[in-house]
Structure 1
Amino acid sequence: MVISFMAVWAQAAELKSPDGSFHLSFEVKDGVPVYKLDLNDQPVVLESRLGFELKDAENLLDGFKLTKVDESSYDQSWEPVWGEVKEIRNHYNELAVTLEQEKTGRIMMVRFRLFNDGLGFRYEFPQQDNLTYFVITDEKTQFAMAGDHTAYWIPGDYDTQEYDYTTSKLSEIRGLMDQAVTPNASQTPFSDTGVQTALMMKTDEGLYINLHEAALIEYSCMHLDLDDKNMVFESHLTPDAVGNMVYMQAPRTTPWRTVIASKNAGDILLSHITLNLNEPCVYEDVSWIKPVKYIGVWWEMITGKSSWAYTNLPSVKLGETDYSTVEPNDNHAANTAHVKEYIDFAARHGFDQVLVEGWNIGWEDWFGKSKDYVFDFLTPYPDFDVVELREYAKSKDVKLMMHHETSSSVRNYERHMDEAYQFMVDNNYNSVKSGYVGDIIPRGEYHYGQWMVNHYLYALKKAADYKIMINAHEAVRPTGVARTYPNLIGNESARGTEYEAFGGSNPDHTTILPFTRLIGGPMDYTPGIFEPDVSKYNPNNNSHVNTTIARQLALYVTMYSPLQMAADLPETYNKHLEAFQFIKDVPVDWDDTKVLEAEPGDFITYARKEKGTGNWFVGRTNDEEVRVSEISFDFLEPGKKYVATIYGDQKNAHYKTNPKAYEIRKYLVTSKSDLKQRCAPGGGYAISLLEVKDKSETKGLKKL
């Protein structure tokens, strides 16, 4: 139902969520558009301004009058191609306000959608004579907070999100920024109080608030800059090489700005606002898009045990360096014999694919060199036989996963893209891990600017032409775009497991990421590290993975992704096959998801139901404190029995001193069962709950 008010005498409008819990107020106050949001009479966003600064044109900040108000409601459900649940309800009330700037006659609309778990709003610029081509130099959208909230944040940066999270009051961000900005291959912090979305906060009254954006298409990535005197966030867009933020041509819309709020932390994790604000899937045929569980020739290079490069040459050039005449080094991992070992392991344990990095020429001198013509994504090193490995993988019913490190030479990647994707099709690759390490070429552009956002989407659409799935690393953080383009089966865009080999991440890192980075979409976090002492692989690397083995198993449930890697080495898994069984069993696609316990920075416990079965899996990730998890199995189907295999920390387990101390216990459980489980510092637990099909499966099992 749509109700249109053609004549607007008042300069204000209101909207409530379908369940009446959220209340949105909009007003044009002295020519300035403002909004505010409450949840059950508790302020979420205080009165906040809307608008833009433009280049060489009158700003879109004030001088407005409200000329039209449209209200409507929507309530339909849809099924994702892959996801955390089988079906998603898209239920909201909508308020669309049309504003006219009296001095210029220009029209700007703001569309608000109020869900039962929060708000999404965007700007819209209809076709008009007075505003066609324009350049945004600053978006002035505000989010005024009602107090000095506790925030879980990373520094605002145009090029990276690969930071550990800091937990502090909003007023403390400025004083902590210097220590929060740690080194990265490409980074551009922009403010002493700038932070990135998705930003998670908690008020003193126990209200959880999350700020993010949805449907980032043909626009610049939004950060938040804090006025820490007034506790007001203002949107801060990533500029281009000449300092402009966004180039617009009407008719156009901006991405949605999102505010998710609840008194229950788990509701933030279960919100589907980000996906619902994206357009439906554009592909008629999605049969080629499938969740993937994989292993890879990767961790041994990250730890320094092996090398991506075939030689030790200080300089190479494509088309000029004759690799057949060069003496290879002795630790190049992507060689035919070694990759076959990974293929054998994948086939033996039921993995879909094997990722191979460092297979193609050019790895010797690309890092930090700002070279334009680095890789051709086609030519293998002499010790990597493409055809032999293709046929060997086929014989084992395993696929190889392609790797395209672009070195952030984006023009070079685009010039080779069609040939590279066709090469993948010809050699039985259907997914690619792409990387954008280093400063962007063309020089001066940033990873999160409009130019690069357009490139990431171009690569995604081009891959679909070849029925290829993409897992993009160092790309812009996801904003639910995978609903529209579900061949985007993974992103990095945060500090992943690789940093555990570069000095480690804070133990609470994985208790925060689901509240922040994962709000926009799944992450290729690459869990499954069973050897926390990195020096066992590389004596020159004294890094330590800050986790217990039990928590590494839990991450397959708590860090949702349709793309999951068992990241450690096969020889290490062979030493812990009982624990490895959980990685083999856990699925990567789900029919249902429950949050059993959650507190950002402390712990998260998820339960997920396997797609198409009655089996459930539980995962708990814990911070640096000893905690006791108490859960009920009331999510199980009443009247049915399940074999629960619990992979937990031993009493003396500790992420630093005793990370490998785990125990495995089996019980018979029903929907009436309960569990108390001790979680070690940096630990957690994982549980497989397999539906009993035969009485013989319960023999000797005690009831929990």
Structure 2
Amino acid sequence: MKRISLLAFALLPLLAMAQTVTSPNGNVTVKFSLSESGQPTYEMTYKGKTVCKPSHLGLKLAKDKHASKFMQETDLMDGFKETSHNISTFDETWKPVWGETATIRNNYNEMQIDLNQPSTSRNITIRFRVYDYGMGLRYEFPQQQELNYFVIKEEHTQFAMNGNHTAYWIPGDYDTQEYEYQITPLTGIKDVISRDREKYKSNSSTTVFSDTGVQTSLQMKTNDGLYINIHEAACIDYPTMHLNLNEETLTFESWLTPDAVGRKGFIQTPFNTPWRTVLVSDDARDMLSCKLTLNLNEPCKIEDTSWIHPTKYCGVWWNMIVGTKTWSYTDDYPSVRLGVTDYSKCKPNGTHGATTSEVKRYIDFAAKNGLQEVLVEGWNTGWEDWFGHQKLDVFDFVTPYPDFDIKYLNEYAHSKGVKLMMHHETSASVLNYERHLENAFRLMNKYGYDAVKTGYVGDIIPRGEYHYSQLMNNHYQRVVEEAAKHHIMVNAHEATRPTGICRTWPNLVGNESARGTEYEAFGGSVPYHTVMLPFTRLQGGPMDYTPGIFETKLSDWSQNPSFVHSTLCGQLSLYLVMYSPLQMAADLPEHYEKYDDAFQFIRDVACDWDDSRYLEAEPAKYITVARKAKGTDNWFVGGKTGEEVHTAVVKFDFLDKGKRYDCAIYQDAPDADYEKNPKAYRISHRTIKKGDVLKIKEARGGGFAISLMAK
């Protein structure tokens, strides 16, 4: 690791002059200046092409009600003078605890601009880190007499676009990202949101805030072939950022999630905001392989990470999602009370999923097929009236239903070399969860659980708070840090979108924070959804997407009329395309037994990698990726397509020279189609070496998967 200071100036005589920093290879250039009114301004280019036109920076502050009534708050928007600037370079290679590659290079040139606002004697710093594939910027507030505590009314970070780009987006929402992606010009965003406002209310908790607001990570493509992605990194003690578009100027501006009374952030100096990031390339594959978000986070803070491990799991879940089983134990009570209701006096409903016998069946299946853990939802008391009542005291996270023998099942699982995965659905009652958190983690330690799936379905309690507010982001962070003390991995659902914090806290092994497989049972998602998520949601960290559904027509085995908008081989491809160290075999054991030859790929595929190569990529169209399993010479390749048929060209240039590989190819049959013939597949075997080429046809909504075992 090295950091070299290249330039340093203090009290420059020409305070209005622009300062410029370029990336190590010279592709990306960022220029900073102050406007005539002293407003911080930046612009950005890639290989000479404009990425961001001159864009303003600044924050408006709210008057703190505890401050003197005579005090008038002054915004941090303009009136600044530059006092100094510094340009330096940094280059290191670090090893993630888990990831797509064994090492990650963090190489950037940095520009630090120190500013003073003479009218208030306040000092701030704006820091830019410029990479070969993008840049990050943030505001820094040193501790100072004139700026100690302050309240953010709004952050005004702009991203001025240079044209009416094609945008791949979901509406800005303070509570959820569980939407299908829209593909429109920038000027088409308003029409779609205005049209679909009623549809957006179908989720358990939604707050769409603007007709021109979108969420990050926002992917765009310009008419001259640039791919641009706007996101944020290291969102700690701060509200989640959205973007709001000014249609006339085609300028996006940051839009922070408010708290219950509309304030955007309560700050004590010294403090750094999250990074605002712009990823750019003329090759779509770089959108997937470059690690800008991770690199802008702090190094790992967990000294001993030996207990953190990538995991394949199955679980008692899909039956409940589809509707053949229930989370609740009884239908006798219209409501239940925590610590009061006596379940021994009620009649079981006969549809409860988390029974001892059912969980034991899943444990046996996991042990037989090399899956490390079994998730069990609905094991604990309280599910009878858990949702829709804004109920404060819902679960205690330690009391099992009468038909779930927690001690026996954990002993049985451990005897089979399998662990159970804990489930903590908070029903968004955060106050209740924090009250019970320590006891819940102690119970997990007692029985040897090492991973928990948390959930935040519904409107947040404290009432009026949003899922993405500063208070809630602090809650999610607290859960991760407390879990680390207990050597517990966290997989958070319905929480805020990730921003690369898994580098610092690698026990955060997964998040949902997007429209996952469960929606295939609620009417389905468009086939290109899974070819969009790696360009958007996965920019901040891995997703627990829960792939692997083989019986795609749900009415064949249930009363659910929905169908999965994917072929069977398309489902196999997701274990490569949708990177995660936490991968679920989400279908039922009996369905996998019907297609045992195809299930072999799920048995074989790794979920931790030494190397990853994106071979083909185009947003919403197709992705083909090759990954080398951690600590082996084995490779796996996956390809996924969207609405259109695609022929993938797989060039095996990434294989080791001189080695030969036993190759199993799982691909769509010639007549496969996600609507008409989703389960049509074929498996072939051959020997592959470096330099060989395969052309593989992918059906609509289809895909393929390849295992390459070194001889």
Question: What TM-score do the two structures reach when normalised by structure 2?
Answer: 0.97
State the match for 1:23 in structure 2. Answer: 29
1:119 lines up with 2:140 in the alignment: no
CA contact (8 A) 2:335 2:384 kept: yes
Distance (whole Å) between structure 2 residues aligned to residue 550 and residue 257 of structure 1: 37
1:129 lines up with 2:145 in the alignment: yes
Distance (whole Å) between structure 2 residues aligned to residue 41 and residue 667 of structure 1: 46
1:369 lines up with 2:389 in the alignment: yes
Q: Which moved more, 1:218-227 or 1:318-327?
A: 318-327
How do 1:510-589 residues align onto structure 2 when only pairs under 5 Å count?
A: 510-539=530-559, 541-589=560-608
| TM superposition shift of 1:7 | 2.5
RMSD: 0.7
| TM superposition shift of 1:644 | 1.3
1:13 to 10, 15, 19: 19
| TM superposition shift of 1:8 | 1.6
State the match for 2:69 in structure 1. Answer: none
| TM superposition shift of 1:368 | 0.8
| TM superposition shift of 1:556 | 0.1
State the match for 1:698 in structure 2. Answer: none
Distance (whole Å) between structure 1 residues aligned to residue 172 and residue 13 of structure 2: 42
* AA of the residue aligned to 1:650: A
* AA of the residue aligned to 2:432: N
1:261 lines up with 2:268 in the alignment: no
Distance (whole Å) between structure 2 residues aligned to residue 367 and residue 630 of structure 1: 48
| TM superposition shift of 1:638 | 1.1
How do 1:148-297 residues align onto structure 2 when only pairs under 5 Å count?
A: 148-177=164-193, 178-179=195-196, 182=200, 183-297=202-316
Distance (whole Å) between structure 1 residues aligned to residue 43 and residue 686 of structure 2: 51
Distance (whole Å) between structure 2 residues aligned to residue 559 and residue 674 of structure 1: 24
CA contact (8 A) 1:303 1:537 kept: no
* AA of the residue aligned to 1:379: T
1:683 to 672, 683, 702: 702
Distance (whole Å) between structure 1 residues aligned to residue 83 and residue 279 of structure 2: 29
1:321 lines up with 2:335 in the alignment: no
- Secondary structure of 2:325's counterpart equals coil
* AA of the residue aligned to 1:18: P
CA contact (8 A) 1:305 1:537 kept: no
Distance (whole Å) between structure 1 residues aligned to residue 248 and residue 290 of structure 2: 31
Distance (whole Å) between structure 2 residues aligned to residue 383 and residue 460 of structure 1: 30
1:53 to 53, 57, 60: 60
Distance (whole Å) between structure 2 residues aligned to residue 475 and residue 4 of structure 1: 42
State the match for 2:67 in structure 1. Answer: none
CA contact (8 A) 2:313 2:585 kept: yes
State the match for 2:449 in structure 1. Answer: 429
**Residue ranges of structure 1 left out of the alignment (5+ in a row):** 693-704
- Secondary structure of 1:241's counterpart equals coil
1:638 to 657, 674, 684: 657
* AA of the residue aligned to 2:9: F
State the match for 1:702 in structure 2. Answer: none
State the match for 1:696 in structure 2. Answer: none
- Secondary structure of 2:261's counterpart equals coil
| TM superposition shift of 1:102 | 1.7
Distance (whole Å) between structure 1 residues aligned to residue 670 and residue 339 of structure 2: 59
Which digits, 9 at most, give the CA deviation of each residue in 1:202-235, with x for residues without a partner? 0000100000000000000000000011100000
How do 1:353-368 residues align onto structure 2 when only pairs under 5 Å count?
A: 353-368=373-388
| TM superposition shift of 1:537 | 3.4
Distance (whole Å) between structure 2 residues aligned to residue 395 and residue 119 of structure 1: 50
* AA of the residue aligned to 1:179: D
CA contact (8 A) 1:121 1:256 kept: yes
CA contact (8 A) 1:13 1:26 kept: yes
CA contact (8 A) 2:11 2:82 kept: no
Distance (whole Å) between structure 2 residues aligned to residue 9 and residue 410 of structure 1: 53
1:484 lines up with 2:500 in the alignment: no
| TM superposition shift of 1:630 | 1.2
1:70 lines up with 2:70 in the alignment: no
- Secondary structure of 1:266's counterpart equals helix
Distance (whole Å) between structure 2 residues aligned to residue 585 and residue 666 of structure 1: 15
| TM superposition shift of 1:359 | 0.3
- Secondary structure of 2:538's counterpart equals helix
State the match for 1:439 in structure 2. Answer: 459
Distance (whole Å) between structure 1 residues aligned to residue 426 and residue 13 of structure 2: 56
- Secondary structure of 1:581's counterpart equals helix
| TM superposition shift of 1:659 | 0.4
- Secondary structure of 1:45's counterpart equals strand
Distance (whole Å) between structure 2 residues aligned to residue 290 and residue 237 of structure 1: 34
Distance (whole Å) between structure 1 residues aligned to residue 385 and residue 186 of structure 2: 42
Distance (whole Å) between structure 2 residues aligned to residue 296 and residue 255 of structure 1: 36
Distance (whole Å) between structure 2 residues aligned to residue 599 and residue 236 of structure 1: 28
- Secondary structure of 2:25's counterpart equals coil
CA contact (8 A) 1:547 1:659 kept: yes
CA contact (8 A) 1:336 1:389 kept: yes
- Secondary structure of 1:508's counterpart equals helix
State the match for 2:406 in structure 1. Answer: 386
- Secondary structure of 2:472's counterpart equals helix
Distance (whole Å) between structure 1 residues aligned to residue 53 and residue 665 of structure 2: 46
Which digits, 9 at most, give the CA deviation of each residue in 1:472-524, with x for residues without a partner? 00000100000000000000000000000000000000110000000000000
- Secondary structure of 1:173's counterpart equals helix
* AA of the residue aligned to 1:36: E
- Secondary structure of 2:471's counterpart equals helix
Distance (whole Å) between structure 2 residues aligned to residue 271 and residue 323 of structure 1: 53
1:616 lines up with 2:639 in the alignment: no
Distance (whole Å) between structure 1 residues aligned to residue 705 and residue 248 of structure 2: 44
- Secondary structure of 1:380's counterpart equals coil
Distance (whole Å) between structure 1 residues aligned to residue 443 and residue 192 of structure 2: 48
- Secondary structure of 2:491's counterpart equals strand
- Secondary structure of 2:96's counterpart equals coil
1:500 to 520, 527, 532: 520
- Secondary structure of 2:308's counterpart equals coil
State the match for 1:36 in structure 2. Answer: 43
Distance (whole Å) between structure 2 residues aligned to residue 554 and residue 595 of structure 1: 13
- Secondary structure of 1:417's counterpart equals helix
- Secondary structure of 1:607's counterpart equals strand
| TM superposition shift of 1:538 | 2.2
Distance (whole Å) between structure 1 residues aligned to residue 698 and residue 339 of structure 2: 55
CA contact (8 A) 1:300 1:537 kept: no
Distance (whole Å) between structure 1 residues aligned to residue 462 and residue 547 of structure 2: 33
Distance (whole Å) between structure 2 residues aligned to residue 60 and residue 394 of structure 1: 57
Distance (whole Å) between structure 2 residues aligned to residue 74 and residue 486 of structure 1: 23
CA contact (8 A) 1:126 1:252 kept: yes
Distance (whole Å) between structure 1 residues aligned to residue 386 and residue 28 of structure 2: 52
| TM superposition shift of 1:320 | 1.6
1:599 to 604, 615, 618: 618
- Secondary structure of 1:364's counterpart equals helix
- Secondary structure of 2:162's counterpart equals coil
Distance (whole Å) between structure 2 residues aligned to residue 335 and residue 631 of structure 1: 45
| TM superposition shift of 1:593 | 0.5
1:659 to 672, 675, 678: 678
State the match for 1:701 in structure 2. Answer: none
Percent identity over paired residues: 57
| TM superposition shift of 1:631 | 1.9
Question: What TM-score do the two structures reach when normalised by structure 1?
Answer: 0.98
Distance (whole Å) between structure 1 residues aligned to residue 98 and residue 613 of structure 2: 17
